[in-house]
Amino acid sequence: MRRQDVLLALALAAAIVLPLVAPGYLVEVSMLVFFLAFIGQSWNISGGFAGQTSFGHAVFFGTGAYTSTILQITFGWNAWLAWPAGAIAGAIVGWIIAVLSFRAGLRGSYFALITLAFAEAFRILANSVSFTHAGLGMLIKADPRPANFQFRDPIWFYYLALALCIVSLLIAWQLTRDRFGARLVAVRENEDAARALGIDVFAEKVKALTLSGAIAAAGGTFYAQKYLYIDPNIAFGVDKSIEMLLVTMVGGAGTIFGPLLGALALTGINEATRALASVVPALKNVQPLSLIVYGVMLILIVGRLPDGLARLFHRVQRHA
């Protein structure tokens, strides 16, 4: 364990120092990695630890983004207050979806699909109602002062993303040590056996999804504050759902560092392949090549490492 701790400390130190020495682009990309790791961890809690695969996690992400944005724009709330409000909204949505779905006994693919349906329903609603400005999207007025949860220098978003990532890692670490986490894993491994052991399976799954919803929603607000514009597709689109699922599963679902590893790998591959195609002469449009390589790499990683990248670091805890 000690060597692992030293490595972690070094990685943390490197992450803290990075923006002071690295080019802005690298800082931006690293910020995205930590952000993805954060929202990926939200998926990991319900999908990895509790084993409830979800295809529609964007429903929470978008709820957070829209809640905080509407509170700011329409009701004049301060962004820092709107943030926890958004997270609470995400938790509520998580709770509702969980109660409805698990009461109905949904499991496995059925649960995954209903989350997809909820995300799609929210997207359509957001596209149709006026308090989300429908298809026009919502623009947060650019006023880059820390008091507004907007920063002129992207370095602050980087540190915030890093902090969020660390918090999410700590949450995951806690789950590998405490009873709640142990109960989630029991539910994942064998629901009936868990029930037989006296675990209130329903309650545990609801808790997992509620927590997961809160975290994803917090990520949604972060995203809205960083880019200052959201619309129904950005907030509830299937792309975000897939990203959250992908980084966790590729990195190793149910592991602490899975989402971070997955985010690192996939972001790295995306950046590298995108740049690759840009080097080729302009008039021949070979940009799609970059995504072909990305897709192939995804297939190879999943094929070669069925348990995810975390398996490579077998000293990383996996709660058995």
Partner 1 sequence: MNQPSRFPVSRRTFLAGSTALAAGTLGGPAIVRAQPAPVKVGLIHPVTGFVAYNGQQSRLGATMAIDDLNKAGGIKSMGGAKLEPLLGDSQSKVEVGVSEVEKMHEQGVAAYIGCFQSPVGIAASQAAAKYNTPFLIDVGASDLLVTRGLKNVFRLKPGFGVCVDQGIAALDSLNKAAGSPAKSAVIVHESGEFGTGTSKLLSGKLPSIGINVKEVISHDNPTRNFDNIALRIRSVAPDLVMMSNYQNEYVLLARTLFQQKVNLAGFYSFLGGGFNYKFVKEMPDVSQYMMDTNHWFNPKSEKAQALKKRIEATKALFTYELYLSYSVVMLLADALEHAGSADNEKLLAALSASTFKAELMPYGPTKFVNGQNQGGRAMTLQSLKGDIEVIAPAEFASAKAVFPRPKFT
Partner 2 sequence: MLDPGILFAGVLNGLMAGGIYVLVAVGLTLIYGVLHIINFAHGSLLMLAMYAVFFLWRLSGLDPYAALPIVIGAAFAFGYLLYRLVIGRLSHGRDENILLITLGISIVIDNVALLLFGGNTQTVETPYASSFVQLGDAFLPLPKIISFVASLFICAVLGLFLARSDTGKAIRAVARERQGARLVGIDVDNIFALSYGIGIACLGAAACLLMPTYYVTPSSGHAFVLVAFTIVVLGGMGSFAGAAVGGLIIGVVESLGGLVLGEQLGQIGISAIFILILLLKPSGLFGARQ
Q: How far is the CB of 35 from partner 1 (least distance, A)?
A: 8
Phi, psi of 254 (to 5 degrees): 80, 5
Distance of CA 257 to CAs 253, 264, 272, Å? 9, 11, 22
- 233 burial level (CB within 10 Å; 0-12, 13-18, 19+): middle
101 contacts which partner out of partner 2, partner 1, none, CB within 5 to 8 A by kind? partner 2
Residue closer to partner 1, measured from CB, 84 or 137: 137
198: left (phi over 0), alpha (psi -120 to 50) or beta: left
Mention every residue, 6+ apart, whose C-beta is less than 8 A from residue 103.
202
Residue closer to partner 1, measured from CB, 110 or 227: 227
179 contacts which partner out of partner 2, partner 1, none, CB within 5 to 8 A by kind? none
Binding mask 76-115 for partner 2 (x = CB under 8 A): ------------------------xx-xxxx--xx-xxx-
Binding mask 46-85 for partner 1 (x = CB under 8 A): ----------------------------------------
Residue 136, interface with partner 2 (CB under 8 A)?
Answer: no
Near partner 1 in 291-310, by CB under 8 A: 291
Residue 228 to residue 221: CA distance in whole angstroms: 10
Positions in the binding site for partner 1 (CB under 8 A): 19-25, 27-29, 32, 124, 127-128, 134-137, 139, 141-142, 152-155, 223, 227-229, 231, 233-234, 239, 270-272, 274-279, 281-283, 285, 287-288, 290-291
